Structure 1
Amino acid sequence: MAELVLCTGLDPDEPDSVTPVVIVTEGGAADEDAVTRLGLYGYEGDGCLYFVRTDGWAERRLDGELLTVDIVAYPAVLKGLEAAADRFPERSAADPEAVRLLRVSAQVSPGTYARATDITAVLTALAGTPAEQVVAQTRSGENWPLILAPQPE
């Protein structure tokens, strides 16, 4: 099951920055599997993969202490992932042409979230791997995050 956490120190250039991180299970449910495969469309950067905003993005909202992240992509991307768009009936809040692949929520400190960067990171893990271990593997360079930009304006 997908998990959402706020992490500090993922960006070595800004060790005090806070990054919302979505952790998905490799070979998991259809929604997690689609998000895991988005990395196929990412382009390599400094120890990470960047997902182009013209293909998809992360939509975030904070209601009190509940942070919700939706990961969305355009149907054309799903064709390349061999995922049928009809399996994802929910639409993006920013663009109804884009489909919501995954929604994940978590209780967070609003003060900590106020320091969050604009990007959302996606990490892929084997089933049963604790979030702390997945984040530690990313910090050490063993696991490359997929970086999603915020929704288009």
Structure 2
Amino acid sequence: MAELVLCTGLDPDDPESVTLVVTAAEGRTPGEDAVARLGAYGYEGDGCLYFVRTDGWAERRLDGELLTVDIVAYPAVLKGLEADADRFPERSAADPEALRLLRVSARVSPGTYARAADSTAVLTTPAGTPAEEVVAEARSGGSRPLILAPRPE
């Protein structure tokens, strides 16, 4: 199951910075599978992959302590991933042309969330691996996160 966590230590240039991380496993659900495979569209950066905001983004909402993240992409991206766009009937809140691939929610500290970077990191995980293990592996350089920008304005 996809998970959402706030953590520190993922940015080697600023180890105290707070990062919002979504973990997704291939083969679990159509949404997790699509999100886990988005890295194929990422371009390489400093120890990570960046997803172009014209292809998709992360939409975040905080309601009290409940943080909800929607990961969205345009149908053309799904075509390239050989994913059936019909399996994603929900739409982006920012652009009705973009499809919601995955929604993940978790209770977080509003104070910690306020310190989080605007971008959202996606880490791909084997099914059943707890988010804490996936984050620990990323901290040690064992995996590269896919970085999703906020929704376009």
Task: Give ranges in structure 1 of 5+ residues lacking alignment.
Answer: none
Trace 1:1-153 onto structure 2 (pairs within 5 A): 1-153=1-153
SS in 2 for 1:90: coil
Mapped partners of 2:69, 2:54: distance in 1: 18
SS in 2 for 1:117: strand
Deviation at 1:85, TM superposition (A): 1.1
Do the aligned partners of 2:26 and 2:37 also contact (CA within 8 Å) in 1? no
Do the aligned partners of 2:26 and 2:34 also contact (CA within 8 Å) in 1? no
TM-score after normalising by structure 1: 0.98
Deviation at 1:32, TM superposition (A): 0.2
Q: Give me the CA root mean square deviation.
A: 0.7
Task: Give ranges in structure 2 of 5+ residues lacking alignment.
Answer: none
Mapped partners of 2:127, 2:84: distance in 1: 24
SS in 1 for 2:116: coil
Deviations, residues 68-117 of structure 1 (Å, cap 9, x unaligned): 00000000101001111111000000111100000000000000000010
Aligned residues: 153
Q: Runs in 1 of length 4+ with deviation above 3 angstroms?
A: none
Mapped partners of 1:124, 1:6: distance in 2: 16
Mapped partners of 2:37, 2:151: distance in 1: 20
